[in-house]
């Protein structure tokens, strides 16, 4: 069996490459919109098409990860991702762009549960939190670097970032095909309640509370991020440069926190307590955004808020991987499903509320996060044997 550290490094490298590819295309989307005379509403529908497709496919892909293996789903997902980016690059009609985004949703539904399950297979309960923190950091770093590289490539040609993203997806797929070996799945204890069949397993308390909190965190982050640029533009007159500094800086701080703090925190106070604190702090800071006025305080608030979200998500994933036993693919698929639901409804509800009053989306997100905090207070981890 290959050294788990080497295998983890390969997985993280491929995740970084894939999410770097996703980030590459961000700077040129407005140009493509202008070239094809696409309205903002159509772009919103394309974003929703990605999330809806991921939502539909994730429950099935979770089962396929357990049935057909981690490696095959990762390789397929990366090839589909590469193809979807090439398709977007050559697309000259709205229909082709929609097909591209839907294929992107399929690729995300394939890759994330498989990688999470793969990491669970090659780690122990003691090392898993650190590995999942690295996984989140690899994703965040790819997103951070991608737009800058994409902006440089766009100087050569507006379609070059898409072709580059497609090429990176293909390279990551080939690396996975050649270098990864399907992990051995040690027999792991699953709590008795885990024997419930079919999708009814979603409603098992040890799973269901975690899934609800995945939705809460995804909804809160999506509502915050999707409207942040409009919010600070309308309320504070932020320039695109100001917005880029805040978002990029916040993402960098979050990535560093995942690497340096996440493992220490989970070992010291446990995943559930990390989630509770992050939910409570995030609720307070989202509300605080409606009161702050100075540039420095906005910057500080956003940085801490991103850190809270970036610690919360891998904490939930780590908790699920430890209790899932031999259902790693299932919980990975459900993680992706509930994330997609939050990503769909966060921007939709937030956008509708923004049209009424620019503070309302953050008030509503605060309420959702506080409800999540209340749910988390009644959350207890089931007793499991060490893996």
202-382 has the same fold as 1-183: yes
Copy the structure tokens of residue 73: 């789903």
Copy the structure tokens of residue 354: 């923004």
Separation of CA 330 from chain center: 17
Is residue 322 within 8 Å of 131, Cβ to Cβ? no
pLDDT in tens, the chain (387 residues): 467 788 888 888 888 887 777 777 766 766 777 778 876 667 667 777 887 888 899 888 888 988 898 899 999 999 999 999 899 889 888 889 889 989 988 998 898 888 888 888 888 877 887 887 788 778 777 777 777 777 788 788 888 888 888 998 898 899 889 888 888 765 554 544 444 545 677 777 778 888 888 888 888 877 777 677 778 878 888 776 777 677 778 778 887 888 888 888 888 998 889 999 999 999 999 999 899 888 888 888 888 888 888 888 888 888 888 887 777 777 877 887 888 788 778 877 887 888 888 888 889 989 999 999 998 888 776 655 444
Task: Write down the pLDDT at residue 110.
Answer: 92
Copy the structure tokens of residue 254: 């979050």
Is residue 73 within 8 Å of 65, Cβ to Cβ? yes
* Distance separating alpha carbons of residues 86 and 357, to the nearest angstrom: 39
Backbone angles phi, psi at 175, to 5 degrees: -60, -45
Domain residues of the chain, as ranges?
1-183, 202-382
**Packing angle, helices 295-323 and 125-154, rounded to 10:** 130
Copy the structure tokens of residue 19: 């999410």
Backbone angles phi, psi at 229, to 5 degrees: -65, -40
Task: Write down the pLDDT at residue 83.
Answer: 95
* Distance separating alpha carbons of residues 336 and 215, to the nearest angstrom: 10
Task: Write down the pLDDT at residue 240.
Answer: 62
* Distance separating alpha carbons of residues 202 and 139, to the nearest angstrom: 26
Separation of CA 286 from chain center: 19
Q: In terms of Cα–Cα distance, which of 379, 272, 301, 328 is closest to 123? A: 328
Cβ-proximal residues to 9 (8 Å cutoff; 6+ apart), any chain:
none
Task: Write down the pLDDT at residue 31.
Answer: 73
Please identify which residue in the block is written with the tokens 């069996």: 1
Tell me the CB-side half-sphere exposure of residue 262, using CA atoms within 13 A. Answer: 33
pTM: 0.71
Q: 1-183 adopts what CATH topology?
A: Growth Hormone; Chain: A; (1.20.1250)
Q: How many CB atoms lie within 10 A of CB 379?
A: 18
Write the CATH number of the domain with boundaries 202-382: 1.20.1250.20
* Distance separating alpha carbons of residues 215 and 346, to the nearest angstrom: 9
């Amino acid at each position: 069996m290959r050294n788990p550290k080497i295998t983890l490094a390969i997985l993280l490298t491929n995740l970084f490459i894939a999410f770097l590819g996703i980030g590459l295309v961000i700077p040129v989307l407005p140009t493509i919109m202008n070239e094809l005379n696409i309205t903002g509403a159509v772009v919103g529908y394309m974003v929703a098409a990605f999330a809806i497709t991921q939502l539909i496919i994730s429950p099935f892909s979770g089962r396929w990860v357990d049935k057909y293996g981690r490696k095959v789903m990762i390789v397929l997902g990366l090839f589909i991702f590469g193809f979807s980016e090439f398709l977007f690059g050559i697309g000259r009609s709205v229909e082709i762009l929609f097909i591209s985004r839907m294929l992107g949703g399929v690729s995300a539904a394939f890759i994330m549960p498989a990688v999470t399950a793969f990491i669970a297979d090659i780690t122990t309960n003691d090392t898993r939190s650190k590995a999942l923190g690295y996984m989140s950091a690899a994703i965040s770093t790819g997103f951070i670097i991608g737009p800058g590289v994409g902006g440089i490539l766009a100087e050569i040609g507006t379609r070059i970032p898409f072709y580059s993203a497609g090429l990176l997806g293909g390279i990551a797929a080939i690396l996975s095909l050649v270098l990864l070996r399907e992990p051995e799945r040690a027999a792991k204890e699953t709590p008795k309640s885990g024997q419930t069949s079919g999708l009814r397993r979603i409603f098992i308390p040890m799973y269901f509370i975690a899934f609800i909190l995945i939705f809460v965190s995804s909804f809160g982050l999506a509502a915050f991020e999707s409207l942040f640029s409009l919010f600070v533009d309308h309320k504070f007159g932020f320039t695109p440069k100001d917005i880029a500094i805040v978002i990029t800086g916040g993402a960098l701080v979050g990535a560093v926190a995942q690497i340096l703090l996440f493992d220490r925190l989970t070992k010291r106070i446990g995943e559930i307590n990390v989630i509770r604190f992050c939910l409570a702090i995030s609720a307070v800071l989202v509300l605080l955004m409606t009161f702050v006025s100075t540039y420095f305080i906005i910057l500080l608030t956003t940085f801490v808020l991103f850190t809270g979200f970036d610690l919360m998500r891998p904490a939930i994933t780590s908790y699920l991987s430890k209790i899932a036993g031999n259902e790693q693919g299932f919980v990975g698929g459900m993680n992706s499903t509930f994330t997609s639901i939050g990503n769909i409804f966060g921007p939709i509800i937030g956008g509708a509320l923004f049209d009424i009053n620019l503070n309302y989306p953050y008030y509503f997100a605060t309420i959702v996060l506080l409800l999540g905090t209340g749910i988390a207070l009644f959350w207890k981890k089931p007793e499991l044997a060490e893996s």
